[in-house]
Amino acid sequence: MASVAEAVKIHSEPKAANGIRQGDCLSLLQSLDDESVDLTVFSPPYDSIRDYNGEWAVDLSLLGSRLFRVTKQGGICAVVIGDGTKDFAKSLTTFSLAVDWCREAGWRLFECCIYRRDGNPGAWWSRRFRVDHEYILLFLKGKKPEKFDKTPLMVPSKHAGKIYTGTDRLTSGGFKRIKPKPVNAMKCRGTIWRYATSNTESNKLKLQHPATFPDKLAEDLILCFSDAGDLVLDPMCGSGTTCVMAAKNGREYIGMDISPEYCAIAGERLAKELSQPALSLSAAPGGG
pLDDT tens-digit readout, 186-231: 988 999 999 876 665 556 666 555 567 889 999 999 999 999 999 9
Pick from 224, 251, 256: which is nearest to 240 by CA? 256
Please say if the pLDDT value at position 264 is more than 50. Answer: yes
Verify that 147 and 159 share a domain, yes or no: no
Question: Is residue 94 domain-resident?
Answer: yes
Shared-domain flag, residues 9 and 31: yes
Same domain, 109 and 49: yes
For the stretch 98-144, pLDDT in tens is: 999 999 999 999 999 999 987 665 556 678 888 889 999 999 999 99
Rounded-to-integer distance, Cα 81 and Cα 39, Å:
17
Say whether both 92 and 107 belong to one domain: yes
* Confidence class for position 286, pLDDT limits 50, 70, 90: very low
Q: Which domain holds residue 168?
A: 155-188
Instruction: Give 30-79 pLDDT, tens digit per residue.
Output: 999 999 999 999 999 875 555 555 556 689 999 999 999 999 999 999 99
| Of 188, 213, 234, the domain-final residue | 188
pLDDT tens-digit series, residues 152-184: 999 998 888 888 777 777 888 788 888 888 888
Residues 56 and 109 in one domain: yes
One domain, residues 258 and 170: no
Does 17 reside within a domain?
yes
Would 138 be classed as within a structural domain?
yes
Residue 87, domain member (yes or no):
yes
Where residue 265 falls (left for φ over 0; alpha for ψ -120 to 50; beta otherwise) is alpha
Same domain, 59 and 117: yes
pLDDT of residue 164: 77
Same-domain pairing of 12 and 30: yes
Structural domain includes residue 69: yes
Question: Is 223 a domain residue?
Answer: yes
Same domain, residue pair 147 and 232: yes
- Residues 139, 242, single domain; the answer is yes
207: left (phi over 0), alpha (psi -120 to 50) or beta: alpha
288 belongs to a structural domain? no
Kindly report the pTM of this predicted structure: 0.82
Number of domains in the chain: 2
CATH number of the domain that 221 lies in? 3.40.50.150
Final residue in a domain of this structure, among 131, 163, 188: 188
Q: Are residues 171 and 207 in the same domain?
A: no
Of the residues 167, 188, 209, which one is the last residue of a structural domain? 188
**Are residues 47 and 183 both part of a single domain?**
no
